Amino acid sequence: MADSSVEIIEGCRLPVLRKNQENEDEWPLAEILSVKDPPGRKLYYVHYIDFNKRLDEWVTPDRLDLKKLQFPKKEAKTPTKNGLSSVPGSPERDVRKSLDLCVPAASAPSRGKTLPTPKRKAESVCLATQVSAAVTPGPSAEESQASVYPALRDSSFSIQPLAALSTNGTTRRLIPLPPGRKRKTCGGTDEMVKVFQNNDPRCSTIYMPPGEDSQDSSDGIPSAPRMTGSLVSDRSHDDIVTRMKNIECIELGRHRLKPWYFSPYPQELTGLPILYLCEYCLKYLKSLKCLQRHLTKCNLRHPPGNEIYRKGTISFFEIDGRKNKSYSQNLCLLAKCFLDHKTLYYDTDPFLFYVMTEYDSKGFHIVGYFSKEKESTEDYNVACILTLPPYQRRGYGKLLIEFSYELSKVEGKTGTPEKPLSDLGLLSYRSYWTQTILEILMNLEPEDGERPQITINEISEITSVKKEDVISTLQYLNLINYYKGQYILTLSEDIVEGHERAMQKRHLRIDSKCLHFTPKDWSKRGKW
């Protein structure tokens, strides 16, 4: 219980009562971000430390534990040196220290590289995880993931241990080399991956020679995923306003949505109990009466743009951000309510938007979307991707991902999503990559009595998944080991059975025959 004699200010930390996934009381530590005093009693906006921001909420004083109240600490300032603040842990101090220690004076900065991140415990992922689903609010993304499938351990094998390295949530495994051997670079070669069938035909072991390295790495290990992109949010500019949800509720067609994050809707609309959106043109209105009047004039019953895919009740529309600027901006505003790691551009000209809809007698209802740059120098095939909460946990997220790779296949390219991914996006992509790669490996058949062979490059070409993502997925699942001078990858009985169960649940698939898409050369269009 809060004591009225104690003044709680912004920045204070203290335990706050909340319900966990099992509907049990818990008291996690939280930070006070804002205080307001409406008629009645005070309200406090809290951020639960080490929890996802979507769980932030306004709480009443009776949920606060003042016995463990921590006031914000003042930063001890000392005289400045060389014009830089010497506040402990300040960004300027850290940058100068890293430059002094790591960068030679005459060296030129390398483009496209990211700095190594500290090691962290490897996250686990469930093969049967459903895509981009809205999870019941819980402590963290890690706790919502199931344990990784164990690799097959044959007592006759002498398998060296693997050192784990995590980069921004994507766990990689460094493959040890035998003494005296140097790593080989690609050099245009395409090493074969041999598949040895065991007694159990569903359980195979894949021998992977070294040399299948990343095109961005010179030592045979994929470089860290780039954290740059067209819509990657610069978190250094976060302030108290953007850290707080500003929309209470959104009515979109027959659904009412509770936003997870801040979105820059006009300030005069943020105080409304409900923000109304036209589900066809996504225009925002302040009242139900305004929405009803708008619907009598709005002649759209589907997203603007070209319908490039239809199968059953599922359709995809391609929308040019330059030709349909108003719709694209409204779509970005809606998406920002559920995306924390992406920023928002009102200049939508450089982007294409692919909106997935579900058809019924009233029209085409938006389910989700992804955006991509018209021209990407980093081979990104997705900038932002979102399945709206009412349609999550139903397989639509994986369908969006599969569709993005189908477009890449038509374009004759390999693609990868912009990093960093959200926690739900990371689960969805790992699940899709895992199922897609295992589907290929398990369908390999011997040729002329010889063991089947395949390369990492061939897997990448078949799936249009970027080679770095193929390698990192195999390493993340802890399938790659080193044995007798070769890299081996073992598909255990657990992985095979888990994959079969997951594919039985995956009913929604993209049918390439229903795709009517002609890629455009945007580089030439820009010259006219």
Q: What confidence category does residue 334 fall into, taking pLDDT thresholds of 50, 70 and 90?
A: very high
For the chain, the distance separating the N- and C-terminal CA atoms, rounded to the nearest angstrom, is: 68
Say if CB 114 and CB 25 are below 8 A apart.
Answer: no
- Reduce the secondary structure of 429-484 to three states and give it as a string: HHHHHHHHHHHHHHCCCCECCECCEECHHHHHHHHCECHHHHHHHHHHCCCEEEEC
Q: Which position has the higher pLDDT, 116 or 19? A: 19
Say if CB 384 and CB 422 are below 8 A apart.
Answer: no
Residue 115 to residue 126: CA distance in whole angstroms: 29
User: How much is the mean pLDDT over the chain?
Assistant: 74
Tell me the two tokens of residue 118.
Answer: 């500290």
Q: Select which of 123, 212, 418, 468 is catalytic.
A: 418
At 320-330, the pLDDT tens digits run: 999 999 999 99
Look up 418 and say whether it is catalytic.
yes
Contacting residues for 327 by C-beta, under 8 A, at least 6 apart: 281, 282, 303, 304, 319
pTM: 0.70
Cis peptide leading into residue 420 (ω within 30°): yes
What are the beta bridge partners of residue 386? 369
Residue reference for tokens 């200010």? 9
Say if CB 417 and CB 385 are below 8 A apart.
Answer: yes
Q: What confidence category does residue 405 fall into, taking pLDDT thresholds of 50, 70 and 90?
A: very high
* SS3 call for 94: helix
At 197-247, the pLDDT tens digits run: 343 444 445 555 444 443 343 334 444 445 555 565 555 456 677 888 999
Question: Phi/psi of residue 311, each to 5°?
Answer: -145, 120
pLDDT of residue 124: 36
Q: What residue ranges define each of the domains in the chain, with the CATH number in brackets?
A: 12-68 (2.30.30.140), 303-512 (3.40.630.30)
Residue 451 has pLDDT above 70, yes or no: no
Residue 65 has pLDDT above 80, yes or no: yes
Tell me the two tokens of residue 84.
Answer: 């830089």
Tell me the two tokens of residue 223.
Answer: 């470089």
Q: Which position has the higher pLDDT, 88 or 73? A: 73
Residue 373 to residue 376: CA distance in whole angstroms: 6
pLDDT of residue 233: 54
* Pairing label, strands 416-417, 380-382: parallel
Q: What is the mean pLDDT of residues 414-430?
A: 89
